[in-house]
Amino acid sequence: QVQLQESGPGLVKPSETLSLTCTVSGGSISSYFWSWIRQPPGKGLEWIGYIYYSGSTNYNPSLKSRVTISLDTSKNQFSLNLSSVTAADTAVYYCARDLYARIPEVDCSTTNCYAGWFDPWGQGTLVTVSS
């Protein structure tokens, strides 16, 4: 069965770039979408973005200017970079497989046309932004 594991620094300084990697085991990364999701301490979930094995990406509009998600199929890994971090970016960061579905009634040329749900999830990694 597919398993995901996040890795990366647990402490990042303000204004720097947060970088995390998710390693996928038990299955190939060369299918499905792959998402990053975060959860500030004591708060709810926030979707950050996804990448498709082709390399195409889609990001949460509220984070789009600071987010880059990339893929390394040779290592079965995908990564998250979040730039110019502040204390508000302190959160548990999860990676997850995104089981997408094309929505037939939505025009892909005008908006995102792929719904999705997340299964499985990695265990999560806490990233604290502090000097």
Partner 1 sequence: QSALTQPPSASGSPGQSVTISCTGTSSDVGGYNYVSWYQQYPGKAPKLMIYEVSKRPSGVPDRFSGSKSGNTASLTVSGLQAEDEADYYCSSYAGSNPRVFGTGTKVTVL
**CA 111-92-89 angle, 5° bins:** 70
CA 113 to CA 131: how far, in whole Å?
40
| CB closer to partner 1 out of 14 and 106 | 106
Q: Beta strand 3-7 with 67-72: parallel, antiparallel or unpaired?
A: unpaired
Q: Which of 46, 52, 68, 76 binds partner 1 (CB under 8 A)?
A: 46
Least Å distance, CB 23 to partner 1, is 15
Which span (23-31, 66-74, 83-91, 114-122) binds partner 1, by CB under 8 A? 114-122
The reply on whether position 112 binds partner 1 by CB under 8 A is yes
Q: Distance between CA atoms of 107 and 3, rounded to whole angstroms?
A: 33
For residues 42, 100, 74, 37, the Cα torsion angle rounded to the nearest 10 degrees is -10
Give the Cβ contact number of residue 28 at 10 Å. Answer: 11
Binding mask 53-92 for partner 1 (x = CB under 8 A): -----x-xxx------------------------------
Task: Residue 34: count other Cβ atoms within 10 Å of its Cβ.
Answer: 24
In the complex, the smallest distance separating the C-beta of residue 111 from partner 1, rounded to whole angstroms, is 5
Nearest approach, Cβ of residue 12 and partner 1 (Å):
21
Footprint of partner 1 (CB under 8 A): 35, 44-47, 50, 58, 60-62, 94, 98-99, 101, 103, 106, 111-112, 114-124
